[in-house]
Amino acid sequence: MKHFLQRLTGLVKGTLALRCSRGKNQPRTQKGEMTERLTIGQRVVHRRYGAGVVVEVRQGKEDEEHESYYVIDIPSSALKVYLPVSAAQQANLRRVSSRRRMNHALKILSGDPEELPKDYRERGSFVQELMKDGVVDSLAQVIRDLVALQSRKSMSSMELALVTNAKRRLAGELALVLDIDLAQAEQRIENALRRDEVE
């Protein structure tokens, strides 16, 4: 459990180096997947770690052991992701969502929750699978349903970590899309959960 929680926070001295595989088993294409080269200042979303900005292209040496990396700052996690340029198109990156998509996610937060599996192991597996694609609608659904569950019963430490992670990732993307700070984005999410504010 301790190892799982550490992976969720993703904090290893504020940085994370991603070594993407380059084999025959490439991940399947998903909607919004990045296919072009990244540029400094570009906003992207890593499906596991959340929304960020390309802040640097760190040039490596000519030999294969020292290749070039994109440096992506993930503000919501105080994290920097180092992504090999040669593997960027096969990485779990997508474009940031539109304002319309983000508003739809807020509406999901304000909607009626759906029933989650009763067994906590099944529930944890279901939620983790739902979060894999990193799409804002899925994150909003996870937050809405787990918060509703929390109002009725105690949640496990894993479930608490999952809802915290989902809120952080959704807030990070909301902040980038609406050009607001992270605290404001977090408040928008809480308001939507209370059905106080949905555009």
pLDDT of 183: 95
How many domains does the chain contain in total? 2
Model confidence at 194: pLDDT above 70: yes
177 inside domain: yes
Mean pLDDT of 62-83: 83
Question: For residues 176 and 11, which has the higher predicted lDDT (pLDDT)?
Answer: 176
Residue 197's pLDDT band (boundaries 50, 70, 90)? low
Last residue of a domain, one of 65, 95, 125: 95
As a whole number of angstroms, the distance between CA 114 and CA 59 comes to 48
CATH code of residue 89: 2.40.10.170
Write out pLDDT tens, residues 179-188: 999 999 999 9
Pair (85, 159) in one structural domain:
no
102 vs 35, more confident: 102
Same domain, 112 and 62: no
- The verdict on residue 3 lying in a domain is no
Q: What is the pTM of this model?
A: 0.77
Asked if residue 103 is part of any domain, the answer here is: yes
**91 and 104 belong to one structural domain:** no
In 3D, which of 161, 157, 199 has the Cα closest to residue 177? 199
The residue type found at 39 is: T
Please write the tens of the pLDDT for every residue from 150-160: 988 888 899 99
Please write down the HEC assignment for all residues of 117-142: CCCHHHHHHHHHHHHCCCCHHHHHHH
Domain-ending residue, one of 95, 116, 149: 95
CA–CA gap between residue 59 and residue 109 (Å, rounded):
42
140 is in which domain, residue-wise?
99-193
> Is residue 198, in this structure, part of any structural domain at all?
no
